[in-house]
Amino acid sequence: MKILVTGGAGFIGSNFIHNWLESHPTDKIINLDKLTYCGNLDNLKDVENNPNYQFVKGDICDEEVVNGLVAEVDTIVHFAAESHVDRSIAGYAREFVQTNVVGTQILLEAAVRSGGRRFHHISTDEVFGALNLASSVKFKENTAYDPRSPYSASKAASDHLVRAYGVSFGLPITITNTSNNYGPFQYPEKLLPLAITNLIEGKKVPIYGDGLYVRDWLYVDDHCRAIDLVLQKGKIGETYCIGGLTDDVNNLELVRKVLKIMNKDESCLEYIKDRPGHDRRYAVDWSKAKKELGYKPQCELDECLEKTVEWYQKNEAWWRPIKSGKHFSAWQQKQYQK
């Protein structure tokens, strides 16, 4: 198999490349990444000399580049996206529409033009909106879309485009809607890496509002295994919800777990003004993926939180330049939290 991975220098994309080359050492991967603020080739240093890996710096909105690369492969795994909710709210919505909607359409068109390339689209549970804290309901594949931020609206639009190209042009597509990922190489604007790195630096951890925002937490290796299963066994035209082993863990509980691992106390917390339109609860029902693909996450939250903390403690040379660089602003320091 020869795969075009878009956004492969980002958090989940780079982990997927590591996982795929380890599990499928004879397959070839082309990584197309624009290297925006959260793309980092340091994430892929250990594979850069692998003869089955190729990096191409480029934009998924560049039709010439995309058409040429898609013609070389048989499968596309599409990670590339603007993904941070706060940035979409704080005046960058146009970038989200351009990358997440227009960029996806350009890739889909190239896949059709090249004879119908296999197209797997990585999406989010945020397209489904929010759940009530008192409810036991979880998102399923047939949950109605109800995006509540420019970010989730742009991802919802890209999901609809992928399905439309599957119907209109017979493109062999699949989609995964996943919960909150965490693990190595996550850009330190997100809740967990921001909390961990701030604590290492002796800084406070920002908590939005009352902190009682519930998320389903998925370790990135489990996500990568799920994508592998979808590519090997997934039914064309289908969507699969991918979640972790956690149920109803709120942000405050999560950060308290990190405090315990790092031997810190709650004096390290700083409650800040809430994000506009902050969704209260996400929860994912992954029973379809279990039944059809044999998917089951392997990573318990407490165990993999420890692994994640340990990774950031051992890899200060990776994240310190990011946090001190021009892209990680004071605004991000105070507000970046998914």
On whether the CB atoms of residues 218 and 297 are closer than 8 A, the answer is yes
Residue 293 identity (one-letter amino acid): L
CA distances, 39 to each of 9, 238, 325, 330 (Å)? 5, 29, 13, 20
Question: Rounded to an integer, what distance in angstroms lies between the CA atom of residue 37 and that of residue 317?
Answer: 17
Classify residue 97 by its DSSP letter: I
On whether the CB atoms of residues 117 and 77 are closer than 8 A, the answer is no
Catalytic residue among 33, 109, 126, 279: 126
Classify residue 102 by its DSSP letter: I
Question: Rounded to an integer, what distance in angstroms lies between the CA atom of residue 99 and that of residue 230?
Answer: 24
Respond yes or no: is residue 126 known to be catalytic. yes
Residue 28, strand partner residues = 2
Helices (H), 148-236: 150-169, 191-200, 220-233
φ, ψ of residue 117 in degrees (nearest 5) = -70, 145
Catalytic residue among 53, 82, 86, 151: 151
Respond yes or no: is residue 253 known to be catalytic. no
Catalytic residue among 109, 125, 159, 221: 125
Residue 292: CB atoms within 10 A of its CB come to 15
169-172: long-range pairs with CB below 8 Å, 24+ = 169/112, 169/116, 170/116, 171/108, 171/111, 171/112, 171/116, 171/117, 171/119, 172/116, 172/117, 172/118, 172/119, 172/236, 172/237
Respond yes or no: is residue 151 known to be catalytic. yes
CA atoms within 13 A on the CB side of 228: 21
On whether the CB atoms of residues 284 and 241 are closer than 8 A, the answer is yes
List, by residue number, the catalytic residues: 125-126, 151
